[in-house]
Structure 1
């Protein structure tokens, strides 16, 4: 089973979902804008991705530019920013077991199958 952190309004996220469905994969969809991950959940996702928190932030979002741009933030503060403003989380994120990828481009989600 693959867990997909999904934003239905995002074309890349929709494409990733379609690719997983075409492979016959069982998918748990987490609409993270409606049900934001907790600090601990997001920390775990970042660890599975093998990246630092800054690499998961969408820096072109208004929330980032208005509240955080130009500030020196710790990893914990960056995670809190994403918990508070889930729109800042890069999408889609696909997780299968201990493997995780950011679906940019969407075809990257197939790497964890």
Structure 2
């Protein structure tokens, strides 16, 4: 009969340990999820700030801002050094290029000889 009583005592203590371990595990998972959500929120806020700050410049505006000529700007677009959105003006008309201001600053603001 003593053999049966001993396992019950062990079961109670191990049961309490299991409950504590489970509670710690749950708390850790909640903490990890909160940290993940905080990182995701920060990342989304950064993306929204960046999108709000986006500004597009025409080739003329880029030339004025960085003291360049059209040929240099068009050459940089042609070789793919910077991205530009091309917008054709009507049939056979000239193409308007829109360049992101941050791209232009990164490329010409650094003092690169282009």
Which one has a bigger Cα radius of gyration?
2
Q: Quick check: TM above 0.5?
A: no
Say which structure is richer in helix. 2
User: TM-score with structure 2 length normalisation?
Assistant: 0.25
User: TM-score with structure 1 length normalisation?
Assistant: 0.25
